[in-house]
Structure 1
Amino acid sequence: MDLNVLIVGGGIHGVGLLHDLATRKIHGIHLVEKNKIASGTSSRSTKLVHGGLRYLEHINQWSLVKEALKERSLLLKLLNGVVKPLPFVLPNFHGDKRPPWMIRLGLFFYDLLAGDCGLPAATKISKDEIIHYAPYLNTKKIESEMISAFLYYDAQMLDDVIAKLVVEASVKLGASYEENSEVTQVNKIEGGFRVTIKSSNQERTLTTKYIINAAGAWCNENLLKWGMIPNIPCLLNLGTHIIFRPEAVKNGTVENSFATLIQEPDGRIVFFIPWFDKWLFGTTESILTSRPSQIKYPEEDKQYLMHTATEVLNLTDAEQNISEIFCGVRCMPLNNKTKFSKLNSNWIDNPYESPFYLNKLDKNISGLSRETVIDEPISGLFCIYGGKYTTYRAVGEKIGSLLSKKLKMGTLSGTHIKENWFIQELINEKPEIFKTSSDLRQI
């Protein structure tokens, strides 16, 4: 066999697994990315490393929150400067779905699950304090409708920087990767798979013992293209974000302001976050019904966010001060496994019109679990569905342990060890990796 493990997809889960396997000293691991590393959802997030405060509303997601908070603490230590503490204010208004006692209780358990994480515990704050910390909030609404407010901490990240850093650290540990290449064919053979990889220059064939399909929203499309029937149907969840110029906020500056978590009347949550010298506002949760590579933000998503901005924020010429609008696509695995014995050729040509991509849901998307689902549709080929960016390292460690046992090789994972990240070396050798960082000296 040419390879032990071939990973398809250069998002955070793909590169995270590559890094994990490399730290275990497993040789013959390679990653193929159709475009550029982190060119999809992994560079179009809300830029938060967090436990997911609202997930505490669902008892079955508490273990996910605990795991995410543990990972938050670890990433703050490993990637100081790339991941930074971020203070949040959380106002509570008359009519909010979640009353003050529920917010207070949620923050208590959030801190409890986080343990000794190095971040301050949540506290109650006054109207004067919230106006000081978040001068972009609608002061009139604060004065007349706010009944409580809290201050708590999460963390902010450079999402694309982390993905690029992870993949380059993997190379230093002996792994390899390629961009602008596509796995066009996968055939099962004795002991593994024969795979065809097409790039702009050539088409080549290699063999591998195991394949990890880590393509996110494109996961089921890949399976269908390879002539395989998926087990897990998905919902593609579109998150739209608006970036405002600094002058959108008349009172206060980006560098001196805290982030805000805003409760929507429908129970959803949006964030208003300082982001370098601009403001990041999002996210939405609409269902994508087209190909994830051909998306443009839905006008209704923009209007949803702008309505919230009008109600809760005090922005100057908001429409004119929009700098950018971008979208990320979350792959949400659903519980109802599909059972088809035969592959329909129409699914190969139109994967997003197949039963493996749903375009409607009978319940609120917010209630869907963010836990990662690992499936093995055929022996030796694993698919990664869903998940949170924050828990990517833990997911990579779980799959890495599984593969290490199957291969009967490798040591324990070392992604939690700072020396396996080569941060200072990469700052010196490849400073372009950190191009979205405002100050490399902080890293």
Structure 2
Amino acid sequence: MAGEHSTADRFGGVLGPAQRERAWADLGSQRFDVVVVGGGVVGTGTALDAATRGLRVALVEARDLASGTSSRSSKLFHGGLRYLEQLEFGLVREALRERELMLTRLAPHLVKPVSFLYPLTNRVWERPYTAAGLFLYDTMGGARSVPGQKHLTRAGALRLVPGLKRDALIGGIRYFDAQADDARHTMTVARTAAHYGAVVRTSTQVVGFLREADRVSGVRVRDVEDGRETDVRAEAVINCTGVWTDELQRVSGSRGRFRVRASKGVHIVVPRDRIISESGLILRTEKSVLFVIPWRNHWIVGTTDTDWELDLAHPAATRGDIDYILDHVNTVLARPLTHDDIEGVYAGLRPLLAGESEETSKLSREHAVARVAPGLVAIAGGKYTTYRVMAADAVDAAAVDLPGRLQPSITDQVPLLGADGYHALVNQADLLAARHSLHPYRVRHLLDRYGSLLHEVLELAADRPDLLKPLDAAPDYLRVEAVYAASHEGALHLEDVLARRTRVSIEYPHRGVDTARQVADLMGDVLGWDEATRVREVEIYLARVAAERASQTQSDDEAADASRVAAPEARPALAELP
């Protein structure tokens, strides 16, 4: 494991202020087998894979866990139904296997089945064509833990989704996939890696690479909260930085084996009552597909797919992106959505493999892994659902640089924190609710966010019953959740809680502004913030929201980017890399 000062022994997966200080000391004093760079789902998955093989592991992330692509996806664990049309059967089969593992063994508290209606519009060819694809989907593994496809007449489809125009379909097919809160899932993977001994540290930016003769032997990192720097020595470094892959490759001085193209995907969030439906929707567009995804009391509608060559940390949605989504979904809705219905907007960047031609770029949803230099491995591409497979491939690629025999990957047998005991606690939800004077609905909501870690969360309120009250302007969340985010989940800044540990920033029309001060106070009590720090955190968050709102009124990417990057960074010592 991670040596005599193992975080597994001391913290059990807790990412809090005490762990953060000890992790800094560990980074500078230990020699690791593997240093993973990047705290998205692939990076955290790679850290978990390596740690559970018995390797000494460190993971560093310049910003927050899941602060890039891994908090801005469509929030689906899906096989990729549309990839069947591209004849990518292996990718679909692999993704469906991963979806099944998440639903049943690895993360049943976080990953849930979700229903979709595929509206049919052509009377002759579309039903048999689509049914054949869904039959293949089901037989590849899509109908193990979820129901198989069900064919519906137009009347049946409209009973399921009354919000559709009657003339928008001639029938429909219902099928199931799965969904998860991507940021919460990624954070839980990171905590699970820490539980098994990985040293996990956010706000820790790689600013250089160490070398011994002709090989990479570690990284130099900067604490972007206070500017401290230290060297982290390792047998191998694995670059899991997604859309930043090429940037980090340049810092290493090694020429990469592949290039990564950033593709912007925009989603909007609208209230659940604006689309009357018992199921999500999947709609064909001229370019791809558009999803309408149930999300608690909301719908997520998206996505777009356009090249992005501007600021990688803060991709910005334009008014045109939002209009594209509204125009396409309104072609089938009886009651059209308007800009006034939108509660939240988010934009993310897919790290696609860039080919030299259009023909090679069709591999973009596959992933690539390469040992780009002795001691340095890079991985990119892929999709959120297959992160565990990508992680195993990355660690396998580093084997040549590691001493001794590398054990095989076992993460298909390692439940994430909170999974063990989850189903029993769901059955006990009424008892737990009575014990803590909470509504059973609230307990079930907490179980679907924390699983069996629920006890840790509620323990923080044992002497402070006021923490079991909802946030004043975001009543879907309890005050104790903001405290727990800072004490156990590695949240260092207000935006970490409002945008990722909770989803207040996209679920409420005020986008977190109206609850910012209250959350800053709850976090500040854990993190030791003085009054000036609390005021500054609120000011930075408000500036972020204002910048995002401004960007969403712009007509093109350049103007939207200029609006968004005007907001200050929450992490003061974050450096532009050469």
TM-score computed with the length of structure 2 as normaliser: 0.65
For the pair 1:273 / 2:299, whether they are aligned, the reply is no
2:288 counterpart letter in structure 1: R
Aligned partner of 1:157 among 173, 176, 180: 180
Alignment of 1:203-282 (within 5 A): 203-249=229-275, 251-252=276-277, 257-264=278-285, 266-282=286-302
Structure 1 SS opposite 2:339: coil
Greater helix fraction, Structure 1 or Structure 2: 2
Alignment of 1:164-203 (within 5 A): 164-190=187-213, 192-199=216-223, 200-201=225-226, 202-203=228-229
Q: Deviations over 1:240-268 (max 9, x none)?
A: 0010123423x45xxxx21110011x141
Q: Is the 8 A contact 2:135 2:149 kept in 1?
A: yes
Shift of 1:231: 2.7
Q: Which residue of 2 aligns with 1:81?
A: 109
Shift of 1:233: 2.1
Q: Deviations over 1:89-126 (max 9, x none)?
A: 10121499x83332111111111111662221112111
* Separation of aligned partners in 1, 2:62 and 2:191: 17
Aligned partner of 1:381 among 376, 398, 411: 376
Shift of 1:331: 1.0
**Pair 131,280 (structure 1): closer, same or farther in 2 beyond 3 Å:** same
Aligned partner of 1:37 among 58, 61, 65: 65
Q: Which residue of 2 aligns with 1:429?
A: 456
Q: Which residue of 2 aligns with 1:411?
A: 407
Q: Which residue of 2 aligns with 1:56?
A: 84
Structure 2 SS opposite 1:293: coil
2:135 counterpart letter in structure 1: F
Between 129-138 and 404-413, the greater mean CA deviation after superposition:
404-413
* Separation of aligned partners in 2, 1:295 and 1:391: 24
* Separation of aligned partners in 2, 1:176 and 1:184: 19
Shift of 1:3: 1.4
Q: Is the 8 A contact 2:107 2:415 kept in 1?
A: no
* Separation of aligned partners in 2, 1:216 and 1:325: 22
Q: Is the 8 A contact 1:23 1:415 kept in 2?
A: yes
Alignment of 1:332-371 (within 5 A): 332-336=352-356, 367-371=362-366
Shift of 1:236: 1.0
* Separation of aligned partners in 1, 2:503 and 2:351: 28
- Output the aligned Cα RMSD: 2.6
Aligned partner of 2:120 among 92, 104, 108: 92
* Separation of aligned partners in 2, 1:421 and 1:409: 28
* Separation of aligned partners in 2, 1:278 and 1:420: 27
Aligned partner of 1:393 among 381, 388, 392: 388
2:320 counterpart letter in structure 1: E
Query: Which 5+ residue runs of structure 1 have no aligned equivalent?
Result: 337-360, 439-443
1:101 counterpart letter in structure 2: P
Aligned partner of 1:102 among 129, 151, 165: 129
* Separation of aligned partners in 1, 2:198 and 2:231: 19
Aligned partner of 1:11 among 31, 40, 47: 40
Q: Is the 8 A contact 1:270 1:283 kept in 2?
A: yes
Structure 2 SS opposite 1:86: strand
Shift of 1:291: 2.1
Structure 2 SS opposite 1:42: helix
* Separation of aligned partners in 2, 1:57 and 1:86: 22
Aligned partner of 1:286 among 291, 301, 306: 306
Q: Is the 8 A contact 2:83 2:89 kept in 1?
A: yes
Shift of 1:304: 1.2
* Separation of aligned partners in 1, 2:411 and 2:159: 39
Structure 1 SS opposite 2:113: strand
Q: Which residue of 2 aligns with 1:339?
A: none
1:53 counterpart letter in structure 2: L
* Separation of aligned partners in 2, 1:402 and 1:362: 27
Structure 2 SS opposite 1:69: helix
Q: Which residue of 1 aligns with 2:171?
A: 148
Greater strand fraction, Structure 1 or Structure 2: 1
* Separation of aligned partners in 2, 1:197 and 1:19: 21
**Pair 425,128 (structure 1): closer, same or farther in 2 beyond 3 Å:** closer
Between 406-415 and 10-19, the greater mean CA deviation after superposition:
406-415
Q: Which residue of 2 aligns with 1:125?
A: 152
Alignment of 1:299-318 (within 5 A): 299-315=319-335, 318=338
Structure 2 SS opposite 1:125: strand
Q: Is the 8 A contact 2:116 2:175 kept in 1?
A: yes
* Separation of aligned partners in 1, 2:187 and 2:32: 22
Structure with the larger RCO, 1 or 2 (CA within 8 Å, 6+ apart): 1
Structure 1 SS opposite 2:33: strand
Q: Is the 8 A contact 1:332 1:370 kept in 2?
A: yes
**Pair 187,406 (structure 1): closer, same or farther in 2 beyond 3 Å:** closer
Q: Is the 8 A contact 1:414 1:420 kept in 2?
A: no
1:229 counterpart letter in structure 2: R
